[in-house]
Structure 1
Amino acid sequence: MQPSRRAFLAGAGLAPLIVPLLQRATSPAHAEEGGLIRRAIPSSGEMLPAMGIGTSRRYEVEPVPEKIAPLREAVQRFVALGGSVIDTAPSYGTAEDVLGQILSQDGLREKVFLCSKVGAPGREAGAAEIARSFRRMATDRIDLVAVHNLSDTATNLATLRDLKAEKKIRYTGVTVWRDSQFADLEAVMRRETMDFIQVNYALDDRRAAERILPLAKERGMAVMVNVPFGRDRLFKAVQGRDLPPWTAEFDCASWPQFFLKYVLSHEAVTCPIPGMAKTAYVEDNLGAARGRLPDAAQRTRMEAYVDAL
């Protein structure tokens, strides 16, 4: 995704749209006056900014100062513009270690809604993996820990509920990343009580909206959305194209915002978590969580546009 997106940000065709947006986003007055859309966690009513950072791949760098520096700048900018949700996992290489170093400075840990996962099967192995996440991220509290890819779900959810009762974590959930997991996810959602689910959903991957997203709303579960750019497919589909003029109707200034505003405009979605390893990506993506969102008719138009590519 990075090469395609870099081309978008640098492309002459979109520069006139993106540059003014980034200039507004870097203005403290704009950030204050045009704050981020916020969504409630159904189980508690706590409000979250409706755009987060996913750390898969992009934060899996060697945990040394020169490699961490640009990521630290991205997180600092994210928090300065009102963001808080950062999602990671033990399986994301060095990402937890990198986050631990980033969040240990500038009081960032207290400003971040920190999310991780547990994927090890078995009670002891799962508990050990979670304990390792606490050490790697140098924190005594993780806001959300979810069962990664429905791995030993019943056992790991039991562990998470114990940790929640001990106030070591605040919320529990489960995650998936592909459509073939939806039947199992639906079964877990109907059987278990959880605070969050994390699911793949994008403008060109809309199957989650058929049953999963409505069920999350029915069951009172917050929804984090991974791969909201469709694993690069969407960027490739619109490569070299200008935004349609009608996207101004919902305050859209770039293709990344087009894709993210579609995801966020679903009433069940709490927070998309695209990868953001550069400040330019942070500023652009957070623009999707400001201003108007597409209504039902505009969503249908967006679907038809992408389907026709």
Structure 2
Amino acid sequence: MQYVPLGQTGLTISRLGFGGIPIQRIDQQGTRALLKAVHEAGINYIDTARAYTVSESWIGQSLEELGLRDSFVLATKCRALTAADMRAELAESLKNLRTDHIELYQFHNPSLKDLETILAPGGSLEALLEARKEGKVGHIGLTAHLAAVFERALEVDEIETIMFPYNIVEQQGADLIARCAAKGKGFIAMKPLAGGAIEDGRLAMRYVLSNPDVTVAIPGMADPAELTSNLEGAANTAPLTEEEQAACQKVRDALGTQFCRRCNYCAPCTVGIQIPSAFLFDGYIARYGLEDWARQRYATLPVKASACVECGACETRCPYQLPIRQMLKKVVEHFGE
């Protein structure tokens, strides 16, 4: 495992981190077993969030039971905009994670307008600066899905790390990532597998970590097989071979630009469609030719894409501005319902 400084925070972290979103699909015992394996593999960076339902709680309980709290750099985040709300959210994170301090606390995907509220007097930055003085928070970061927010965050001295999507098919932040490194801020690559759209985890991690400006990549993991695949990709951070570059191009050609990253920000659907799942199963037909298997999986969805009433609420929440209503129509064409 390769270890590097996290920007200028003074923290040293593994270049492969643990993304805590998918553990919502398993249980607390499974989380504990997975974190034990993660520790044994040399990973020392954990990412979670207040918004990830049970993720903070299960991680906190697992680390306490395993006696491994001090073996990890914990990073979490919330969407609080005001100082008062941030104090409440931070208190809940500390309680959930069963700790008296969190190494990195981040503003979770604010819009440009929200970021200005965060930075203004009475904004949530004020509360995090107080918490840093009190030792409850070690460092402050920001996560973003839009390049304009990333660019604005680069100008804010108090923001020490920035998280942004970066993978084989998402290159919109490449120049900003280089600027982030030049400014001495840590860069955290989210969606290294494009939200599960890239199936070759080894190649995906090879691509992301071959960029020296990437401090750490945080693929979501929920089972040992995913951990193994990610470790294989992280084992070699040398420049990509010609064969690997060609394989990356094949992935780009297959996915294009309009694909769901499964971030789930579109939820909740007003009629209950599990939008990311519908797109995932559709992708198994469109990209991988697994029609029978995809149809079996799609059949398990309680509400099908055909139930869409075209209200458009999902599209207002999608950080990638996808034409979700039109994409759902394609799903109906493929599955018949």
- Give the structure-2-normalised TM-score: 0.68
Query: Is 1:54 aligned to 2:22, yes or no?
Result: no
1:266-277 pair list within 5 angstroms:
266-277=211-222
1:207 shift after superposition: 1.0
Counterpart in the other structure of 2:232: 287
Cα pair 2:207 2:240 within 8 Å, conserved: no
Cα pair 1:142 1:168 within 8 Å, conserved: yes
Counterpart in the other structure of 1:169: 137
1:77-156 pair list within 5 angstroms:
77-150=37-110, 151=114, 152-154=117-119, 155-156=123-124
Deviation by residue 1:155-191 (Cα, 9 ceiling, x = unmatched): 2223222222222111111001x3xx21122012123
Per mean C-alpha deviation after superposition, the further-off stretch among 143-152 and 283-292 is 283-292
1:155-234 pair list within 5 angstroms:
155-176=123-144, 178=145, 181-209=146-174, 211-234=175-198
Cα pair 1:53 1:276 within 8 Å, conserved: yes
1:236-247 pair list within 5 angstroms:
none
Counterpart in the other structure of 2:330: none
Cα pair 2:9 2:139 within 8 Å, conserved: no
Amino acid in the other structure paired with 2:105 = V
Deviation by residue 1:189-244 (Cα, 9 ceiling, x = unmatched): 123332211111110111110x3201211211111111111123222xxxxxxxxx
Cα pair 1:49 1:83 within 8 Å, conserved: yes
**Could you tell me how far apart the structure 2 residues matched to 1:135 and 1:307 are?**
42
- Give the structure-1-normalised TM-score: 0.74
Query: Aligned to 1:104, what secondary structure does the other structure show?
Result: helix
Counterpart in the other structure of 2:267: none
Cα pair 2:203 2:244 within 8 Å, conserved: no
Between 1 and 2, higher relative CO (CA 8 Å, sep ≥ 6) is seen in: 1
1:24-63 pair list within 5 angstroms:
36-56=1-21, 58-60=22-24
Amino acid in the other structure paired with 1:43 = Q
Deviation by residue 1:100-154 (Cα, 9 ceiling, x = unmatched): 2111112111111111112122110111111111011111011110011125431
1:305 shift after superposition: 3.4
Query: Aligned to 1:212, what secondary structure does the other structure show?
Result: helix
Query: Aligned to 1:89, what secondary structure does the other structure show?
Result: coil
Higher gyration radius (CA):
2
**Could you tell me how far apart the structure 2 residues matched to 1:291 and 1:300 are?**
15
Amino acid in the other structure paired with 1:256 = G
Cα pair 1:73 1:278 within 8 Å, conserved: no
Query: Aligned to 2:173, what secondary structure does the other structure show?
Result: helix
Amino acid in the other structure paired with 1:112 = F
**Could you tell me how far apart the structure 2 residues matched to 1:215 and 1:144 are?**
21
Cα pair 1:50 1:272 within 8 Å, conserved: yes
Amino acid in the other structure paired with 1:157 = L
**Could you tell me how far apart the structure 1 residues matched to 2:244 and 2:229 are?**
20
Query: Aligned to 1:231, what secondary structure does the other structure show?
Result: helix
Deviation by residue 1:61-95 (Cα, 9 ceiling, x = unmatched): 68xxxx31122111100001101111111111111
Cα pair 1:202 1:228 within 8 Å, conserved: yes
Among residues 208, 221, 246, which one is paired with 1:263 in the alignment?
Answer: 208
Deviation by residue 1:270-291 (Cα, 9 ceiling, x = unmatched): 1111111112221221222213
Cα pair 1:223 1:270 within 8 Å, conserved: yes
Per mean C-alpha deviation after superposition, the further-off stretch among 157-166 and 115-124 is 157-166
Aligned residues: 246
List runs of 5+ in structure 2 lacking aligned partners.
255-337
1:300 shift after superposition: 5.0
Amino acid in the other structure paired with 1:264 = L
**Could you tell me how far apart the structure 2 residues matched to 1:306 and 1:83 are?**
27
